[in-house]
Amino acid sequence: MASVDVEMVKCACTDCVCVVPVAKAVTREGKAYCCDECASGHADHAGCDHAGCTCHG
């Protein structure tokens, strides 16, 4: 059986549609996020500011 290397993952923020390279992901509590805003649960209700994404927590 061949191993599979996952290079891209969906941001763990429920409302976020971003896909981020594992190497550049912001990791919190074992989950990968596309940015600090998503990783902190949108404490200030700021979006991730990535094109086409409307998440604000």
Nearest to 38 by CA among 9, 20, 13, 15: 13
**Euclidean distance between the first and final Cα of the chain, in Å?**
39
User: Domains of the chain (ranges plus CATH)?
Assistant: 8-57 (2.30.170.10)
pTM: 0.84
As a whole number of angstroms, the distance between CA 50 and CA 38 comes to 11
Alpha-carbon distance of 47 to 2, in angstroms, equals: 38
Answer whether residue 3 shows pLDDT above 80: no
What are the DSSP E strand ranges found in the chain?
Answer: 8-10, 19-21, 26-28, 31-33
Is the predicted pLDDT of residue 1 greater than 70, yes or no?
Answer: no
**DSSP 8-state symbol, 7:** -
